[in-house]
Amino acid sequence: MKVDAGRTALNAVRGALIGAAESVPGVSGGTIALMTGVYETLLTSAGHFITGARIAVVDVVRGRGVARAREDYSRVSWRVIIPLGIGMVVALLAMASVMETLVEEHPETMRALFFGLVLASLSVPFRLAAHAPMRGRPDGRWGGKDWALALAGTVAAAVIVSLPGGHLEPSPLVLVPAGAIAVSALALPGLSGSFLLLTMGLYEPTLAAVNDRDLGYLVWFALGCVIGLVSVVKALQFLLEHHRRNTLVVLTGVMAGSLVALWPWQAEDGTKLAPYGDLIAPLVAFVAGFVVVIVLLAVESRILAGQQAQIDADENTTVD
């Protein structure tokens, strides 16, 4: 019971971190999910939920009930998804205005913090990819093809996050595709939904809509998010199930490329600058971000070890 309670609390914290990340340009919620070890669970569960919802709608219309949909719903990791979702929503609502203020008033320090978070988190997909079996690739380490794919992902992400910002008027015809594009980044580690909104000139209007509870704006944006999730999540689920190693390798490269957007010292147009001014605060923030990831990974490892020990103890008791 203690292990379950600990995992529930940890999943809520993970969700809060993902929600907070989604409110910050340049920081990917998908990166935080991958960093904290829930990315594949989140993606797979979302895929099964979407499939179940589609089957349920079709079967209900035809008078068949929801029996077929239950199989997919049963494959959703509800014990992970529910606390994760609660943490995400609470953090997103609570941190929208806070993050907006911090990024505006302390840009170098905040970017340094997120740079440390993402840099340390590269170890997660790197290790997962190395141990994903694939014919012709070494087990436990990366081969030449892995490095080449990762480099391609790095370059592509670096180009995308270096795009200049634009300015679009928030109308339904704009908000629906903008929501689809932004939420796609939630499923793609290394790409920030907030950053993509920033490139479209919709970052500040969207934050204002969240803070002001502007339902007219948010409903159209949410519709776009649903469309984006349905399409992108299923595609990524397929890739992870059938091309796991290559997908993880590319995602590692994409995360690395996203670091370009998080270089602490930048001009207003995004031009990267040499370090200047007070270097202590950004350095401390960088170290703090790096350490947070290490601590989260250590806590996760300890909880998993405790859970495995409990399972082993239960099996031994059953055998006896």
Q: Which residue has the higher pLDDT, 86 or 181?
A: 86
- pLDDT value at position 185? 66
Q: Is residue 18 part of a domain?
A: no
The proportion of the chain whose per-residue pLDDT surpasses 70, expressed as a percent, equals 80
Burial code (b: 16+ CB inside 10 Å, e: under 16) for 148-178 equals ebbeebbebbbebbeeebeebebeeebbbeb
| Residue 235 exposure: Cα atoms within 13 Å on the Cβ side | 9
Task: Give the number of other Cβ atoms within 10 Å of residue 194's Cβ.
Answer: 24
Q: Which residue has the higher pLDDT, 66 or 320?
A: 66
- pLDDT value at position 18? 82
Domain with 236 in it: 97-319
The lowest-confidence range among 9-23, 168-182, 183-197, 233-247 is 183-197
- pLDDT value at position 307? 57
Q: Is residue 263 part of a domain?
A: yes
Q: pTM for this structure? A: 0.62
Confidence of residue 128 (pLDDT cuts 50, 70, 90): confident
Does the structure show a pLDDT above 80 at 314?
no
Does the structure show a pLDDT above 70 at 318?
no
Mean pLDDT across 167-187: 77
Query: In angstroms, rounded to a whole number, what is the distance separating the alpha carbons of residues 259 and 195?
Result: 12
Residues linked to residue 266 through DSSP beta bridges, in sequence order? 272
Does the structure show a pLDDT above 90 at 146?
yes
Q: Is residue 24 part of a domain?
A: no
Q: Residue 6 has which token pair?
A: 């600990």
Residues in the chain: 320
Burial code (b: 16+ CB inside 10 Å, e: under 16) for 57-89 equals eeeeeeeeeeeebeebbeebeeebbebbbbbbe
- pLDDT value at position 319? 56
Task: Give the number of other Cβ atoms within 10 Å of residue 110's Cβ.
Answer: 24
Q: Is residue 49 part of a domain?
A: no
Q: Where are the alpha helices (DSSP H) in the chain?
A: 2-21, 29-35, 39-61, 67-74, 78-105, 107-121, 123-130, 144-161, 172-186, 193-199, 203-212, 215-242, 244-258, 280-319
What residues have CB less than 8 Å from 84, skipping those under 6 apart? 11, 12, 14, 15, 18, 38, 42
Q: Is residue 4 part of a domain?
A: no
Residues 76-116: tens digit of each pLDDT: 888 888 888 898 888 877 876 777 677 778 888 988 987 88
Mean pLDDT across 194-214: 76
**Mean pLDDT taken over the chain:** 79
Taking phi first (over 0 means left), then psi (-120 to 50 degrees means alpha), and beta for anything else, what does residue 166 get?
beta
Q: Is residue 117 part of a domain?
A: yes
Q: Is residue 286 part of a domain?
A: yes
Query: In angstroms, rounded to a whole number, what is the distance separating the alpha carbons of residues 167 and 179?
Result: 15
Q: Which residue has the higher pLDDT, 216 or 181?
A: 216
| Rg of the chain on CA atoms, in Å | 21
The SS3 of residue 253 is: helix
Mean pLDDT across 170-175: 83
Residues 223-273: tens digit of each pLDDT: 888 888 777 777 777 887 788 899 889 888 887 887 887 788 988 777 788
Query: In angstroms, rounded to a whole number, what is the distance separating the alpha carbons of residues 14 and 85?
Result: 9
Mean pLDDT across 265-290: 87
- When divided into structural domains, the chain yields a total of 1
